[in-house]
Amino acid sequence: MPENINRNDENRQRPVQNRKKPEVNEETVLQKDTKVKISQRYATPFLVILCVLLAAVTIILVYMIRNHFDAKKGVREQLRLSAIAGFDCEYTEAQQLYPFQNGLLKVTTKRVAYLSISGNEVFGEDLEMSSPVCIQCGPYAMVADTEGFLCALFSENGLVFKSHMTGKIGGFALAPSGLSALIIDEGDSFGCVYMMEKDGTFLAKWSSYESGYPLSLAFAPDESTLSISLVDTDGSQMIPHVKQFSIPKDRTTARPSEFAFYSPVVFDVMPLLAYMGSDKVAVAGISDVAVVGNGTCELVQPPFDCVTSIFSYDGGYAVIYSDGIDQPLQLSTFRSNGSKIGDVALGNEVLSFAVSGSKALIAVDETILLVDLSSCRISSTINVDEPVLRVSFFGTKNVCVVTNAGVREIAL
């Protein structure tokens, strides 16, 4: 009996020994719980950061999309999207860029550089100028310091010449062959006109002692004459004059000489010049336009209220004017015989214009107009979304536009 009792006791103790196994399972569960808590502790900040980033990206995308739609309001053609070539730059740099030949001239107070249409420098020349101004004609461009004495002529291949004048430069003109003329200060006269060949050699000099102050210059298209606009202030009124010099073709044996002198019957300053062919030139002031040449001097009738610009084209000349201050601008074109072709409305502000043959590019407000001057009609209109600084023909089918944000080459 005792043995049986002991065996039963042993059997009763076995289940007690088996109950110790769940203690290991509890430790495992505790480890798993600890890992879950740690994962949750690191996951929560990560989710918060991810939510913040997603919110920031959403705000940025909404802002960009809103600006994109705002920029497209009222614009039928995005200039940036339609550009064939070009580059972006700051407004201060854009002001220094002048379309020239197949690229641009960058004119600063320290340097003149020729750039490709993509903005790469082709050549450069260090020139110290206080107030440089650039004009171009045909394959040449001249840069002159209107507050100093230095001038320089450039072609697409580089510097042609540079020269220091004896007096401060007041104005200058350029002919297609590179022939140039400059108005410079002179102590014992009202000013003088200094003419140079395309290599910078001296050609002629004329000093004004009785005709008044030289204001502007213009070469005839065939370079047969040079016209000078002057104003005489000796009397109680301002009297305009136009002096013309004859320029010989063979300048190795002959020099330019005085050819004609005209005095339009108005009492105004008339600094604007535009040739009508090779023998007549239109001279304009605030409201009056006169045509001089071949021994005649005639006022255009009726006079204009407010003349802004006047320029030549193949077949005649054109006048940009308005009917008064703050009035919309208009364009009138005239044939070489003086007859009027017609008028066309432009807009509120002419920003820039360029002429090639009988066509003109006129940047007005937020558009660029291609105008057929021979019929005085707008051939096409290009809408732009950047303020235009300068515009120029670029080959036969394209346009080079300098805006406040960069350079764009676009198709006509």
The model carries a pTM of 0.78
Count of CB atoms situated within 10 Å of the CB of 94: 20
The model's pLDDT over 370-379, given as tens digits with 9 standing for 90+, comes to 999 999 999 9
Query: What per-residue confidence (pLDDT) applies to 243?
Result: 96
Does the residue 395 lie in any domain? no
- Position 15 pLDDT exceeds 80: no
Tokens linked to 17: 């020994």
Q: Do 62 and 129 sit in the same domain of this protein?
A: no
| Residue 75: inside a domain | no
User: Which residue type occupies 365?
Assistant: D
Percent of the chain predicted with pLDDT > 90: 69
Residue 108 pLDDT > 50: yes
Assess if residue 400 is contained within a domain: no
The radius of gyration of the chain's CA atoms, rounded to the nearest angstrom, is 38
| pLDDT at residue 26 in the model | 54
Whole-number percent of the chain with pLDDT over 70? 82
Count other C-beta atoms under 10 Å from residue 298's C-beta.
14
Domain end, chosen from 348, 372, 395, is at 348
Residue 62 has pLDDT above 70, yes or no: no
Q: Are 287 and 182 part of one and the same domain? A: yes
- For residue 403, being part of any structural domain is answered with no
**pLDDT tens-digit series, residues 280-305:** 999 999 999 999 999 999 999 999 99
Q: In this structure, is residue 54 part of a structural domain?
A: yes
Q: What is the mean pLDDT of residues 223-227?
A: 96
Is 235 a domain residue?
Answer: yes
Predicted confidence band of residue 38 (pLDDT cuts 50, 70, 90): low
Mean pLDDT of 339-355: 95
Tokens 């050699």 map to which residue? 201
Residues 333 and 215 in one domain: yes
13: alpha, beta or left, given left = phi > 0 and alpha = psi -120 to 50? alpha
* Range(s) of the domain holding residue 64: 28-69
How many CB atoms are located within 10 Å of the residue 130 CB? 12
When mean pLDDT is compared across 58-67, 82-91, 204-213, 254-263, the lowest value belongs to: 58-67
| Same domain for 209 and 64 | no
The CATH number of whichever domain residue 152 belongs to comes to 2.130.10.10
> What pLDDT score was predicted for residue 4?
46
Query: pLDDT tens, 325-343?
Result: 889 999 999 999 889 999 9
Say how far apart CA 334 and CA 317 lie, in whole Å: 5
Question: What's the pLDDT score for residue 268?
Answer: 87
Do 242 and 148 share a structural domain?
yes
Same domain, 57 and 180: no
In a shared domain, residues 38 and 163: no
Do 194 and 124 lie in one domain? The reply is: yes
- What's the confidence (pLDDT) of residue 69? 46
DSSP string of 355-371? EETTEEEEEETTEEEEE
What the block records as the tokens of 278 is 């090779």
Q: What is the pLDDT of residue 46?
A: 64
DSSP string, 161-209: EEEE-SS-EEEEEE-TTS-EEEEE--TTSS-EEEEE-TTS-EEEEEE-S
Question: Residue 369 falls within a domain, yes or no?
Answer: no
Note whether 58 and 113 are same-domain residues: no
- Give the count of domains, the chain: 2
pLDDT over 90 at 235, yes or no: no
